[in-house]
Amino acid sequence: TGTAKLGDTEFRVSTNASPEAIEAINELPVRLRDGTSVRVRDVAWAHDGFAPQTTIARVDGRRAVVLSVLKTGDASTTETADRIKAMLPGLRASAPKGMTLSLLADESIFVRNAITSLLEEGLIAALLTATMILVFLGSWRSTIIVFVSIPLSVLCALLVLRAMGQSINTMVLGGLALAVGILVDDATVEIENIHRNRAMGKRLTRAILDGAQQVAVPAFVASLAIGLVFAAVFFLEGPAKYLFQPLGLSVGLSVMASYLLSRTIVPTLVKYLIANESHEPGTGFFSRFHAGFERGWERFREGYVALLKTALSRRRTVLAIFSVAVMLATALATRVGRDFFPRVDGGQLRLHVSAPAGTRIEQTEAEFAQVEDAIRQLVPPEDLETIVSQLGLPQGYSLAVTDSTNTSSSDGEILIRFASHRHQTTAHYQAQLRELMADRFPELTSYFAPGDIVTQVINFGLPSPISVQISGAKRAEGLEQARALVRKLQTVPGIVDVRLHQVLDAPRLHLEVDRQRASEAGLTLRDVANDVLLTVSSSGQVAPNFWTDPVTLNSYPVVVQTPELKIESIESLTSVGLSSAKGVQLLGDLATIDRRSTPVFTSHVDVQPTWEVRADLAWLDLGSVAPKVEALVDEVRPRLPAGSTITVRGQIDGMRQAFSGLFLGFFLAVFLVYGLMVINFQSWLDPFVMLLALPGAAIGIVLSLFLTGTTFSVSSLMGAVMAIGV
């Protein structure tokens, strides 16, 4: 189309160059020979077809179309999922008869379950805390005052977090649940002190003022100490920083909010709620229970005083026992594993399976069907919810729209979702499937990609927790060392699925064109390449073209392609005719065809060609494996050619950074708390004596982790950091 100005009017000008219908393309003339027009229908068939299939999706053994929906970075996972679910009824109603639309995966379920669990845990903690206060204070009204301060403190913290751009997520809720037991400290201490002043015969108003004033400074120092220790999270880097900064902020802000409330709301509530409270012992069940508890508590306190006198009289014995306990805990700490993050049972597995490079998509599907059948035989029907397989590469493949690790038509992923009431853990089935693949499908290679949202985040987008990258311009030498590293890692206990990420042996047909013959025929090497690509692929590879539907105004690619049935062997390829000024030339007369191999893809890091060795963990913790991996890397490093580098990435690198940041923050927290107490006590020695409680806390931390089979991780270290403030 164009424009033309005729007189005072500007016209749009169009021609009939584009057919109105697809069938009309067949009537277009392509050549005039001997006075007769050769039309498209004489040499081809133009029709509404499909591009060659490059990807296949299967749901429970049947062909399907899988649509993945990703949210933008600042969007809410649950809100996005809710909007999609709200669209499904309308989509189902408008779908053709016989088509079923189902929700295959929903990451918002994990988020909702985590949030629900944290809310339940927070409520349980609040109720237990209120019960403890009721038992000790023996006052329903005082308990209500303390209990009310918990949600108010949480609300204040959420308001500040909202102003700072934070959202309600599992880390924020985890921090608030962690702080529930601490939020009642300020209010409890103040109410207890008010009761003490009331027992001294003071009027209510004077008792409130004196009770609040007497504990103001120590309560402020205690709250500030808890808030200060979370400065450690600001030394974290990478994903750990974004995961745990909201947790530290939520704890620190809620604790300071509880102190502010203890200065304002709590005294006011005391003024109106306990003004007429009777302090005479009652005759009800709770009064009798509280009186019995007080008698028992007094006996316990007397026993503690007696034990304390004994300890003070045998100081050397106590210190010796304490020193031995610290040394035993230090030795026991070496038996506690280390992980970047606690392992999560997400209720699903992502099994990546690869057939030999170059396998056609149809044959890959047949292989996957056998693997799916084997999975159904292994997993009981009551434990299996669904199996979703995605093979090959989609058209317009981009990492921006999928996290798939597929690289060609010969590999794919099988998503196995287990029922919520399954009888075995996901880790149990993962170990069984790994043995199954090795025994029944030795011709296939497989590994497990992260199946849950947490592991996907802490893996930095990698499909494996261990990744070693060898970069350098000398590719052959780097490849040799990468293969040597694969062999060495396969001997390390606890490491499984060791593999070289780059696939190097895809089949390739190499055309060695005789340039002299081609030139004599009037052809250039580019002409030969274009004609061959047109034959084995389509014109979309060399000359993209589009047709616009005049009704819908949608554009569709128009491609010319030789039917696959006509090009089924190398012999048929050599008989392909090439159009030239001297007539049709056979490809076999101008070129020879050799079978060779080629990489499926290449990787570059900082422009340098890179080989990547990946591995997974089976039954050991990451901390036990990391030194062995780094030792093997140190063995390989001197053998690399000049200019090449080797780097350990993945969770090992993330764990190292997070632990070093937390330990630095740990010592800073100790220094800050010590300085705070020095200012408060006006003494250098008293705060040092108080800090000697930290080794005792370390004993409890190590012992509890060892007995529960829990490893040191960023999460457990955050709890240890919080113990400093407590």
**Interval 594-604 mean pLDDT:** 87
pLDDT in tens, 401-439: 566 778 888 889 999 988 878 878 888 898 899 999 999
316: exposed, middle or buried (Cβ count in 10 Å: 0-12, 13-18, 19+): exposed
Give the pLDDT confidence of 664-703 residue by residue, as tens digits.
Answer: 877 887 888 888 888 888 888 888 888 888 888 889 999 9
**pLDDT value, residue 278:** 59
Rounded mean pLDDT of the chain? 84
Say whether pLDDT at 304 is over 90. Answer: yes
Which residues on neighbouring strands pair with residue 610, listed in sequence order? 471, 603
Q: Provide the β-strand partners of residue 448.
A: 351
Q: Kindly provide the b/e burial profile for residues 417-437, where b requires at least 16 CB atoms within 10 angstroms of the residue's own CB.
A: bbeeebeeebeebbeebbebb
Beta bridge partners of 617: 495
* pLDDT band of 172, cuts 50, 70, 90: confident
CA 274, CA 577: separation in Å to the nearest integer?
A: 102
* pLDDT recorded at residue 303: 94
Pairing mode, strands 9-13 and 55-59: unpaired
Report, as an integer, the average pLDDT of 38-65.
Answer: 87
The rounded percent of the chain whose pLDDT value lies above 90 is 14
Cα 627–632–633 angle (5° rounding)? 95
* 454, two tokens: 């947490």
> Across 224-233, 267-276, 571-580, 624-633, which has the greatest mean pLDDT?
624-633
> What average pLDDT does range 166-177 have in this prediction?
78
| Kind plus residue range of the DSSP H or E element containing 348 | strand 348-354
The sign of the torsion formed by the CA atoms of 533, 537, 539, 542 equals negative
* Per-residue pLDDT at 310: 93
Residue of higher predicted confidence among 327 and 656: 327
d(CA 271, CA 261): 14
For position 281, what pLDDT does the model report? 59
Distance (Å, rounded) from C-alpha 2 to C-alpha 10? 10
Cα angle: 337, vertex 338, 339; to 5 degrees: 130
3-state helix, strand, coil in the chain (%, to 5): 55, 15, 30
CB 27 within 8 A of CB 556: no
Which is more confidently placed, 158 or 395?
158
Q: Residue 351: beta bridge partners?
A: 414, 448
Which residue type is seen at 683?
Answer: S
Q: What is the pLDDT of residue 547?
A: 85
What percent of the chain has pLDDT above 70? 95
Using CA atoms, how far apart are residues 474 and 608, in angstroms rounded to an integer? Answer: 9
HSE (CB half, 13 Å, CA atoms) of 209? Answer: 5
pLDDT at 461 over 70: no
Which residue type is seen at 576?
V
Confidence of residue 307 (pLDDT cuts 50, 70, 90): very high
Mean pLDDT over 548-577 rounds to: 85
Which of 175, 178, 182 minimizes the C-alpha distance to 243? 175
567 to each of 125, 267, 533, 586, how far by Cα in Å? 71, 89, 12, 14
Whole-number Cα distances in Å, 185 to 120, 223, 258, 502, 685: 21, 9, 8, 57, 26
- Please provide the size of the chain in residues: 726
Q: Given a cut of 60, is residue 598 above it in pLDDT?
A: yes
CA distance 377 to 1: 62
Q: Which amino acid is at 619?
A: W
161 band by pLDDT with thresholds 50, 70 and 90:
confident
44-48, 88-92, 135-139, 687-691, range with the lowest pLDDT: 135-139
Which of 338, 456, 343, 319 has the alpha carbon at shortest distance from 720? Answer: 338
3-state secondary structure at position 453: helix
- Tell me the pLDDT tens digit for each residue of 349-402: 889 999 998 888 999 999 999 999 999 999 998 889 899 998 988 765 555 556
What is the rounded CA–CA span in Å between residue 362 and residue 368?
Answer: 10
Give Cβ neighbours of residue 66 (< 8 Å, ≥ 6 apart). 57, 59, 104, 388, 390
Q: How far apart are CA 694 and CA 677, in angstroms?
A: 15
**177-223 pLDDT, tens digit each:** 777 777 778 888 888 888 888 888 888 889 889 988 998 888 888 88
C-alpha–C-alpha distance, residues 61 and 82, integer Å? 28
| Cβ–Cβ under 8 Å, residues 193 and 184 | no
Strand 591-598 relative to strand 506-513, pairing: antiparallel
| pTM (predicted TM-score) | 0.79
Nearest to 594 by CA among 567, 565, 573: 573
- pLDDT band of residue 299 (cuts 50, 70, 90) is very high
Mean pLDDT over 612-631 rounds to 88
19 exposure class (CB count in 10 Å sphere: 0-12, 13-18, 19+):
middle
Least confident span in 154-168, 176-190, 316-330, 564-578: 176-190
